[in-house]
Each structure stands twice: as structure tokens, then as C-alpha cells.
Amino acid sequence: MDRIRIVGGNKLNGIIPISGAKNAALPLMIAGLLSEDTLILDNVPRLADVAQLQRILGNHGVDIMSAGKRPGDHEYQGQTLHISAADIIDTTAPYELVSRMRASFWVIAPLVARMHEAKVSLPGGCAIGTRPVDLLIMALEKLGAEMTIDGGYVIAKAPGGLKGANIDFPKVTVSGTHVALMAATLAKGTTVITNAACEPEIVDVADCLNKMGARIAGAGTTRIVVEGVTKLRGARHTVLPDRIETGTYAMAVAMTGGDVQLAGARPELLQSALDVLTQAGAIISVNNEGIRVARNGAGIRPVTVSTAPFPGFPTDLQAQLMSLMACADGSSHITETIFENRFMHVQELARFGARISLDGETATIEGIKKLRGAPVMATDLRASVSLVIAGLAAEGETMVNRVYHLDRGFERLEDKLSACGATIERISG
């Protein structure tokens, strides 16, 4: 099993190219099931989760071609996927495929919308809390699907097709909004989704669906209106840049010091996180190439933050911020309001010497002058990268184990960091 070895203490200087967003690429690939024509997606990141979803879609009979590099391509440019779901030969998504990644459960929406039936295993995937699928099932039931759970599988049937409806989510849900949006595009009549998630990835998927002939208005607000159409066509769409990767590298620069250009980053996708970094003492500037982050000489100032749905501070940057605050000059407070069980990185950060205490959903971090390198173990995707950030600033050597978590969401992390002066390498086996 691969590990990542880091020798801390180097400032980061240079350019880090930002990859396409995993959290948009996955639902965009799934949206390819809605049309018998080819959907072409550019800037798709090369990640373990993307490869796994390709296997899942292949099981339904979807042909996916990955275009090779072209003259003038940059080293880190994402791949181009041609997704052709002309013939869906199987509407079952089996446990052994779905159990590895929660987002793959979302195939239930386009399958029942287009084929009027689907049988999808209840998901596995990530270790963060329960993340139930009840709101997704509720949304499909509102659209007229008959939903049953049998032997660990969710079975959806809509013999006459789905019908437009009012879907009012009792709490904001990104996955529920994705599922409702995809299913409603082929439903008869109008669907109104209220208390919808406003994340940029929802907007990206809606933009792509509209290119395919869907009629969606209001994506990015809490009220989305979908006029159903009889069929969708092919289209070409570029995946937006990854705001979580952007925020992660911005925090790594704030942690180590230095000056890095985050090429291709879009500040409006993570303004709340950039504001918190500014409070912490980083210098953030926006330019034509993306976002520049620097911290030269000044110490790290403590902050108080609560995670919140977009446009608030993202839960997916909470672990990284906690790493940064471990070296702040004073006490910081981070409250996690989105997922229970999302403080698993605390005990691993403590191995670096970090002083963190938990009280319910709030972590108090007493900053110390210097972390010490240590052997640590990744517990989930975002927690794993928080350990890398700590290792970059720690004295001595850090060994991060179980890095397959990292490969699910960060493309060539060690290459991007070492190009900016970090002493970091992957050790295989």
C-alpha cells in the first residue's frame, strides 16, 4: 500500500495548477445516462473515484472513451471523456461497485427517469457519519417513482415515467438536489425544488444539462424550477475548477509560508474560505491567472469558524483549516455543522503535537510554535490532506499511511507540491 513521506520546513513557491472539480465531474458523468447521444466532458480530473465511476457506468452498458493528450496540452490538464449511453443494457448497480463510493448511488435518478426502473445498492464509501439516502428516495417518490428497499438494494419503478412535482427538502442536501435535478429533466410537467443546495457544482451540472436540452432555471439559488422535456441530446461541457483543491493548497501556503499562484482557480467559488485565510494572516490576491496566496514573515492568527452550506465555509475544508490553526498564535474554534463524526483527524493531528480539545461539534485548537513530524494514518479524504499540510510545516519526517484516500480526491498531489519546493514523495508498496 502506498505511503507519502514528507520532510517539513520548506516554504512553497511557484505555480500549482488547479484540477477539475471531483464534486462536479462525478454527477456530470452520471448525467450522461440521461441521453442516448454522446456527452463530452473536458477537464475531468484523473482520480480513483472517477475511474471507479467509469467502471460503474460501464456495467450499465455506457461506453466511455478517454481522449489522450493533444499538442499544446499542459501537463496537468484534465482528461476529456466521451460518454455514450446509447444502449443501457442493465439498470442494476451492484453492491460490489456502489459500496466503494457514495456518489455512485446517484445513477438511480437518470436510470429511473430514462428507463423507468432502477435497482441500486445502498451506498458505502466514506467514513463520515451516516449520510443517509432517505432524502434522495423522498425526492424520487415525489416525482412518482415507486420505491422499495429489499436485500440492501433500493428498487425504483415508474412504469409511466416520472411526473413533475414540488420537492421541498427539510434540510439542504447536495446529493438530494443533484438527484432531484437529474430526475426532473425527463419528468412530464414542471418540478419545483425548494430549499435546494446552492453549491457551484449544482450550477455546473445544471449548465451542462441545459446544454443537453434541459430547461432548468434558478440553479445556484434555493428554488430551482425544471420544465421536463421528452429527451436530452449530446453536448460538450468543461468541468469547473475544484474549489476544495484550491482552498487546500491555499491553506498549505498559509501554513508553510511562501508565495504560490493557484492557476485556473476561481475566487467566487470559495470566497468565505479566502476571507478566513485573510483573517488568519495570508495575503490573497486575484489576477487573470487565478488566485495568488502568500504568507511572508507574519505569524498565523487564530480564527473562529462554523462550517455551513455554500456560500458558507465548506465542511470539506474544515480538516485543513484545523491543521493550519494548530500553529496559530492563540486559540481557535471550529464548529462542524454539516456531518457528524467528522473530527477523526483530531487524534492523528495530536500525533504531531497539536493541542486540540473537542466539545460536541466544536473543536478548540491551542496553537503551538512548531509541530513535530510523525507517522500518521489517513481516515478519510479530507482528513488525509490535513495530515499532509501538517507534515509540510512540521520539524522532521512525516509518513502518511493509507494514501488511497488522497487519490480519491487529489490529482498528483505530491507532484504539485514538490514542484513548489516541498520535500514530499510517494513510496509504493
The catalytically annotated residue of 126, 198, 327, 420 is: 126
Which class for 114: exposed (0-12), middle (13-18), buried (19 or more C-beta within 10 A)?
buried
Report whether 131 belongs to an annotated binding site: yes
Report whether 172 belongs to an annotated binding site: no
Report whether 90 belongs to an annotated binding site: no
Phi and psi angles of residue 134, each rounded to the nearest 5 degrees, phi first: -60, -35
Report whether 166 belongs to an annotated binding site: no
Buried residues in 312-327 as b, exposed as e (16+ CB within 10 A) = ebbbbbbbbbbbbbbb
Report whether 407 belongs to an annotated binding site: no
Report whether 288 belongs to an annotated binding site: no
Report whether 135 belongs to an annotated binding site: yes
End-to-end CA distance of the chain: 5
| Beta-sheet strand order (sheet of 12-17) | 12-17, 258-263, 290-295, 283-287
Q: What is the DSSP string of 274-319?
A: HHHHHHTT-EEEEETTEEEEEE-S--PPP-EEEB-STTSB-GGGHH
Active-site residue, 126 included = yes
Q: What is the spatial distance between Cα 311 and Cα 297, in angstroms, rounded to a whole number?
A: 30
Q: What is the dihedral of CA 306, 291, 198, 119, to 10 degrees?
A: -100
Report whether 133 belongs to an annotated binding site: yes
Distances (CA, A) of 87 to 33, 61, 111: 9, 6, 12
The annotated binding site for UDP-N-acetyl-alpha-D-glucosamine is made up of 102, 131-135, 316, 338
Question: Which residues are designated catalytic?
Answer: 126
The annotated binding site for phosphoenolpyruvate is made up of 22-23
The annotated binding site is made up of 22-23, 102, 131-135, 316, 338
